[in-house]
Structures are given as structure tokens and as C-alpha cells.
């Protein structure tokens, strides 16, 4: 064996890397399988330390890949956080640089398609017809919308450059439909071209109505309430009575929140089983072993934390989300605490498959983290509408609520659940000042002109006890019966 080749083989064995296939070898370029969950908190993966949830297939990706444990959704200009989050993933840019329809943006699928990839989509697409049609050549069981009952998903296919509506398939469930489509696509692959398969689940987004088997598996052994569970949020953050937050009354009943956690976990475990079907099909696909797999979620969810249920806030449970890479050239069973955004996925995949990304991306190539054991940024900037701004630098996090002239300071090393607000502690006044200045610099970087204080702040105190609620049209009847006051006006 030539000495140079011998040294390379030794390096592979010592580092635990699977050899990457050269991106300039035409058909041998790596495939990409992108598995995308909806509303999944980062603490709902068994292999990431949650003993109460069953996620064996996501666990397999953790064991065979590289996990980013401080991954964030940048934020949202909409209460429907899913929309800008998915726009950011598919554009590689913050929502402050793009619109929801990805107008004028070179999407990830579009770029890969023009570089010789066969592109396929199934599941939720939240960013307009024009963007999906230029991104994907093929599509089956595509959901062109925001949310729906998991058993009543309106489906479309992509055929000959058009979206073809197929209506609702009876006796079906969203995660199974999307897995069916992904398996069908993989079974039809011949290995002649590399593929990019985008599989966007609607789970575990509500309605929290997993198949009964998956509800019962947690009803019989329910998970504990979050460590930062509260019956009400302690102050008005501007988004306390939106749709997500009316899924339980105020004050939050502990037994009701715990029951909803069981259903939330059930959706995740059911989705995990469908991921297993896709991974099994991938193993049988020609060239399947040469596939980069990305697992991520568009953001997290409160599910009782801080007295909240939704994701319209900048706490860790809502802005952090899973991010895992596995495949050729990626270290196995490793993780990093580097500060990352979801929109880093775009340039990272470009590097891994040897495609030149657009020059104006906000995202960073995360492969430098495992190649150089480094970091990609010093701070994380978070934004929600014109109501909340936050910065994380090291172990410290400052959340600002401009309409209320209110702020929170947390030391995440000592207080990972963001329970103890240190903002009014005189000992931390300098820390608040430094983080406020750093936050303003981040605002300048992203073109955010929102003032962090106002002359006439809104009332901070709020008590929602007895606030009337109405179910939305997507909730099945058993959820309405269990969780809603049907006499609400």
C-alpha cells in the first residue's frame, strides 16, 4: 500500500469518520435525506437524555451521527413560527432578509436540482407554490398549508412541473402518508443520479391526536411535567391568548398538561416509527449507504413550561430544536455545544456535497465544527415579532420585551430551565448592560430597527383565570370534549 494511502486509512480509523465520497465524481456524489419534524422540543429524544420517551430510530441517527445541542430557530415575524422557520431553512437566510414565499431566493432544493440532483418532496410545505415547484422535480403526498387534523390531510403531488391536488385520503395519518411517499420514492431509485429527498412531517404539531396505541403507551406511564412548569406565565409577553395558548385553560391544570404531554410524546414516537420505515427503505436503495441524513425540527414548543403551551416566545424550550447530521465523512456518536441556527443547514449541505452556495447566505458551514473542533459564532440573536428580542452569549441569556420595558437575565449553566430571573439583581447590572449593547450590535447586523424600550409601556401584570376559549376547526371532537369548555363564547 502506498505510504500516502496508508496514512489516510489510519486517519479514518483513528477519527471514526466514514470516508466521504468525492463530490466531483458525478453519480457518486452523496445523496441527501432531510427529515424535518414540526414543533419538537430538543429534550424529546431518548438518546439526548430523556428516559421517558421512546425514539429508537432518531436515537440511531444520534449514535451514527453528529448532534448540535445548541441549535436555534432564529425566531419569527409571525405567530405561525413554522412559516419563517421553514423559509429560513430553505434559503439559508434569516427571516429579516426574505419573505415567506421565498421570492427571488435560490432555495436549497433549487440549487441542488440545477447541480444534477434528483429532488423530491413530501409532507408540509409552508412557503408557496412557486418555491416548491422550482425546488422539487417530484413530489407525493405534499401538504400545501399550515396545519390540519393529522387524519384529514389535503394532499397534492408534483407532476410535470405542476401541483396536482388529490384531496384527503380516508383512514390515513399524516406521518404514515409522508413515510409512504418517501419509501415509494426510495424504492424507485436506480442510483443513476444523486437525490435530495425532503420529508417534512406535521408531527408533533397539534392537534395532539396520535393513533390510540401511541397515546396509551404514555397514558400508562406519563412523563413528568417540565421542570419549569407554571400554571400561568408570570407576566404579559404579548402573545398569551393566541391559538396555541388556548389549548388548555388558565391556570393550567397539571393533570391536563401532563395528559397533553402524553399525546405529544405519542406523536413523536409514532413519527419515529415512520422514520424507521424510511431508514429501512434507504438501506435497500442503490447507493443508500452514500447518503447524508439530516434530522431537524422547525422549532420547539413550551408544553407547560413557564405556563405556556406554544412557541411564540424566546425561551430555550421553544427556540431550540434538534439538529443531527449523519453519513459519509461525518463523525459518529459525537456532539457539539457550538451555537448554531437552523439556516446553517443550507451551507453545510453545500459543503458536504461539493456544491457552491450563494454568496449572500446568513448561514455558516457547520462541518467546520467537527473538522476543526471549532465554533461558528460567538452569540445567538433571537427575535419574535415586535414584542421580544434576546441574545445568548456563552452561558448568559438576556430576553427583552420592548412593549413592556421588561427584561429577563438567565445564567444557563446554573439555570438551564430559565427559572431564576437575575435582571433586577444589582450584582448583575453590568452583565445586563453588556448584553444589551451586544444585542443592539446583533440588531444592526441583521437590519433590525426595533427600539428595545418604549416611552409608554404596556401593563405587565396579567391574570387569565377564567379567560374564555374556543377550539380551532382542526381539533378532533375527542380533544374538544377533553380540553375545551364547550360553553365558551
Could you tell me where in the chain the CATH 3.30.1120.10 domains are found? 388-446
pTM score: 0.94
Identify the architecture of domain 388-446 in CATH. 2-Layer Sandwich (3.30)
Quote the percentage of the chain above a pLDDT of 90. Answer: 91
pLDDT at residue 26 greater than cutoff 80? no
pLDDT at residue 93 greater than cutoff 50? yes
Can you give the pLDDT at residue 24? 43
CATH class of 30-377: alpha beta
What is the per-residue pLDDT across 379-402, written as a single tens digit (0 to 9) for each? 999 999 999 999 999 999 999 999
Query: pLDDT confidence of 374, banded at 50, 70, 90?
Result: confident
- Read off the pLDDT of each residue in 108-125 and give the average, rounded to a whole number: 98
pLDDT at residue 325 greater than cutoff 60? yes
pLDDT at residue 9 greater than cutoff 60? no
Could you tell me where in the chain the CATH 3.40.720.10 domains are found? 30-377
Pairing of strands 118-124, 195-200: parallel
Lowest mean pLDDT among 23-37, 211-225, 313-327: 23-37
Query: pLDDT confidence of 28, banded at 50, 70, 90?
Result: confident
Which of residues 102 and 9 earns the better pLDDT score?
102
Can you give the pLDDT at residue 488? 46
Amino acid at each position: 500500500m502506498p505510504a500516502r494511502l496508508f496514512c489516510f486509512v489510519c486517519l479514518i480509523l483513528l477519527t471514526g469518520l466514514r470516508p466521504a465520497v468525492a463530490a466531483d465524481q458525478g453519480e457518486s456524489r452523496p445523496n441527501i435525506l432531510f427529515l424535518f419534524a414540526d414543533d419538537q422540543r430538543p429534550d424529546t429524544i431518548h438518546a439526548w437524555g430523556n428516559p421517558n420517551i421512546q425514539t429508537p430510530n432518531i436515537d440511531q441517527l444520534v449514535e451514527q451521527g453528529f448532534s448540535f445541542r445548541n441549535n436555534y430557530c432564529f425566531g419569527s415575524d409571525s405567530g405561525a413560527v413554522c412559516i419563517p422557520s421553514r423559509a429560513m431553512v430553505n434559503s439559508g437566510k434569516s427571516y429579516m432578509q426574505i419573505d415567506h414565499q421565498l421570492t427571488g431566493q435560490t432555495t436549497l432544493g433549487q440549487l441542488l436540482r440545477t447541480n444534477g440532483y434528483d429532488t423530491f418532496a413530501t409532507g408540509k410545505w409552508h412557503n408557496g407554490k412557486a418555491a416548491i415547484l422550482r425546488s422539487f422535480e417530484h413530489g407525493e403526498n405534499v401538504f400545501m398549508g399550515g396545519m390540519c387534523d393529522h387524519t384529514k390531510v389535503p394532499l397534492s403531488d408534483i407532476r410535470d412541473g405542476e401541483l396536482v391536488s388529490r384531496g384527503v385520503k380516508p383512514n390515513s395519518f399524516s406521518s404514515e402518508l409522508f413515510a409512504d411517499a418517501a419509501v415509494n420514492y426510495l424504492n424507485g431509485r436506480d442510483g443513476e443520479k444523486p437525490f435530495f429527498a425532503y420529508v417534512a412531517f406535521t408531527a408533533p404539531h397539534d392537534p395532539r391526536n396520535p393513533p390510540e396505541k401511541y397515546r396509551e403507551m404514555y397514558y400508562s406511564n406519563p412523563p413528568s411535567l417540565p421542570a419549569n412548569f407554571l400554571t400561568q406565565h408570570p407576566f404579559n409577553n404579548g402573545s398569551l391568548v393566541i391559538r396555541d395558548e388556548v389549548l388548555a385553560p388558565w391556570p393550567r391544570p397539571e393533570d391536563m398538561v401532563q395528559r397533553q404531554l402524553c399525546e405529544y410524546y405519542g406523536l413523536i414516537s409514532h413519527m419515529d416509527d415512520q422514520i424507521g420505515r424510511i431508514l429501512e427503505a434507504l438501506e435497500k436503495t442503490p447507493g443508500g449507504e452514500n447518503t447524508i441524513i439530516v434530522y431537524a425540527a422547525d422549532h420547539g414548543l413550551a408544553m407547560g413550561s413557564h405556563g405556556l403551551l406554544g412557541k411564540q416566545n424566546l425561551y430555550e424550550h421553544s427556540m431550540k430544536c434538534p439538529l443531527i447530521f449523519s453519513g459519509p465523512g461525518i463523525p459518529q456518536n459525537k456532539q457539539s455545544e457550538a451555537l448554531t441556527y437552523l439556516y446553517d443547514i443550507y451551507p453545510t449541505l453545500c459543503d458536504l456535497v461539493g456544491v457552491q452556495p450563494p454568496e449572500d447566505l446568513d448561514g455558516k458551514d457547520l462541518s467546520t465544527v467537527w473538522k476543526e473542533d471549532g465554533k461558528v459564532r460567538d452569540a445567538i440573536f433571537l427575535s419574535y415579532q415586535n414584542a421580544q428580542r434576546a441574545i445568548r452569549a456563552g452561558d448568559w441569556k438576556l430576553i427583552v420585551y420592548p412593549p413592556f420595558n421588561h427584561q429577563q437575565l438567565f445564567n444557563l449553566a446554573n439555570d438551564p430551565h430559565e427559572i431564576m430571573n437575575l435582571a433586577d439583581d444589582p450584582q448583575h447590572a453590568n452583565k445586563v448592560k453588556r448584553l444589551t449593547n451586544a444585542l443592539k450590535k446583533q440588531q444592526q447586523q441583521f437590519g433590525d430597527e426595533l427600539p428595545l424600550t418604549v416611552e409608554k409601556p404596556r401593563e405587565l401584570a396579567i391574570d387569565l383565570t377564567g379567560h374564555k376559549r374556543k377550539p380551532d376547526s382542526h381539533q378532533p371532537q375527542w380533544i374538544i370534549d377533553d380540553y375545551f369548555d364547550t360553553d365558551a363564547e
